[in-house]
Chain A
């Protein structure tokens, strides 16, 4: 019994989130959805508790320490890092829902329930080595996201977003499950750590044994599973849903999808690749195989960032532009994975953290601007810089960070990725990424140009003070973490260390 409580304590954040979700749902039912602002405050309080628990967990875990709960959830700093960011991002999203002028204030209790449900899915996804729980977490996240994307039923675009998301999501979940079933058939286990190393006494067999006898099925299975992750993280060629869904979904939901959901996809992908190919104790053959998967990821990375950036150039809607830019950023993050070392992984994690700050800010700005003009066209941004100077300057900070210029966190993140890329002999990929950064300058500064380089109109004071405060806070974070990056760098370095990746076998192709 005592042991049971100890294990339960390890998944306290998940448990608290689950209770929170049920409380919100019941509360909504009892108050008949009268004042959903109170539900939002309740959600924020609950998330605050979760953040506090996660901070405690981070402190109590050693650098490489990992404890398991019920033999399913692996509690380590890697998972805790992403859980912490998810919880914080969700708090921002809940605030955005509160500040959304176009959102009803009554009868939207399910909104918060579904957001928390999606977060529980992410929590399971990022902290398990078990493919069954991983898939369930991913599906929980997906199913909650489908309903959230279609939350504005009256809007045709929202309905379209939901439908497209369901169709693409269902297809890729099926493909991924098929890959997982093949992996299970080949190795006899769904535990990634056992799959990578092989079990005691030759059973379950592990991937090593299968490389010798059946290299092709292993490749088929791994690629099928990667496809599922690629969909969640909108990596080419599984990115088609991204612009339409991001455009049609309510803006707070878009923020959640672009930030928390995407980062969760990457976190699970990092754990999958790390546990299968790079952990301590895998044989030479597996490691060499990992290098080939790395090459595949490098090619995907180059294609993803190029396609994302080129398509973003032609967009007239700021929401679509940010959607394509998020595809491009998925390409950058993938660079760190393609390197296939612990340092590369930590560069990816750092970039994801940077991505949280700048995209939360950019989407918060989008919400502000939609509240003012009721449109998301870049053309209607004209002169906003003179009418709303504070948020506009904050947006410039986000744009500079997204483009990867100093002194912001985006610059430092890209620097780390480029450095690791060159270090691992992926010079060609770094060259393509640098070219892409130049292309991205063009469209990010088109937005800045619309904001400032048009006829100044008469100034009016900002009318959404709370949202302005949030945006300014995020922009300060973006700049400050860019200049004083050592703490964030230390944390993002510690996160992948928990995966137990060994660099000794690392042989640059």
Chain B
């Protein structure tokens, strides 16, 4: 039963994945991606990681999807022609083929690794460690993995500052002192 479900969910994930790049409407692409995430969450559940499944739904299907939808809304990307015009990149046959070959090669590498490496697996150890309890997760996150956790938060901060500095109001080379381009700093109305 579980095996059948696993194959169904895998097929679903791949099918939705194809849907992401084959549909003509960016909105449908995003919705297909959502489908992929749901299928992956199902696979995590089957593997016995309910917390990971919940995170997958909350973070990817929730937050990230909203972000995608926002971008589509802001750029007014109605259909693929609009997308092509906005980005200047057309999804031509050869490009799709090249992307497909790359994805295929990476997948092949994964298959080879999975097939050959199956003899020594760390899965049992991870499962036995009981990493799926929230207390344990907190302990690991703020104990052993404190530094990477802090590094990740720094990374997000740097990214945020970088994005804001790139996106804030465009000015000429010469600016008046005090006018930083931020709306809440605006000394002089423009």
Q: Which residues of A contact B (CB under 8 A)?
A: 11, 18, 21, 25, 32-35, 69-73, 102, 104, 106-107, 110, 113-114, 117-118, 120-121, 124, 130, 132-133, 136-137, 139-140, 143-144, 146-148, 150-151, 153-154, 162, 178, 182, 185-188, 203-205, 209-210, 213-214, 216-217, 220-221, 224
Contacts and interface: CB of A to CB of B under 8 A. Distances in A.
Which 10 pairs show the lowest CB-CB distances between chains A and B? Answer: A147-B162, A188-B122, A214-B116, A217-B113, A117-B158, A110-B165, A33-B180, A136-B151, A72-B147, A140-B155
Contacts of A210: 117, 120
A217 B117 contact: yes
A217 B112 contact: yes
A11 B151 CA distance: 13
23 contacts: A32-B185, A33-B185, A72-B146, A102-B173, A106-B175, A114-B158, A114-B165, A121-B155, A132-B148, A140-B158, A147-B161, A147-B162, A148-B162, A153-B170, A154-B173, A162-B166, A187-B122, A209-B120, A210-B117, A213-B116, A213-B120, A216-B116, A224-B109
A136 B148 contact: yes
B183 interface: no
Nearest to B113: A217
Interface string B165-180: 1100011111111111
A143 B145 contact: no
A182 B110 contact: yes
Contacts of B178: 32-34
The binding surface of chain B is classed by DSSP as helix
B147 A107 contact: no
Interface string B104-115: 001001101110
A139 B155 contact: yes
A178 B155 CA distance: 20
Residue among A106, A210, A224 with the most chain B CB within 10 A? A106
Nearest to B149: A136
A49 B23 CA distance: 56
A182 B180 contact: no
Contacts of A209: 120
Interface residues of B, number: 45
A140 B151 contact: yes
B117 A147 contact: no
Given A124-B151, A217-B117, A107 B106 contact: no
Contacts of A140: 151, 154-155, 158
B152 interface: yes
Interface of B: 106, 109-110, 112-114, 116-117, 119-122, 125, 144-148, 151-152, 154-155, 157-159, 161-166, 170-181, 185, 187
Nearest to A184: B122
Nearest to A132: B148
Contacts of A205: 120, 122
Nearest to B120: A205
Contacts of B110: 178, 182
Contact of B113 (A71, A162, A182): A182
A143 B159 contact: yes
A104 B165 CA distance: 14
B170 A154 contact: yes
B170 A146 contact: no
A32 B171 CA distance: 16
Given A72-B147, A106-B177, A132-B145, A214 B155 contact: no
Contact of A178 (B106, B163, B179): B106
Contacts of B152: 136
Given A104-B173, A154-B170, A220-B112, A130 B162 contact: no
Contacts of B171: 107
B105 to A, nearest CB: 10
B147 A70 contact: yes
Contact of B144 (A71, A110, A216): A71
Contacts of B144: 70-72
A144 B125 contact: no
A67 to B, nearest CB: 14
Contacts of B170: 153-154
B148 A72 contact: yes
Contacts of B185: 32-33
Contacts of B159: 143, 147
A386 B102 CA distance: 54
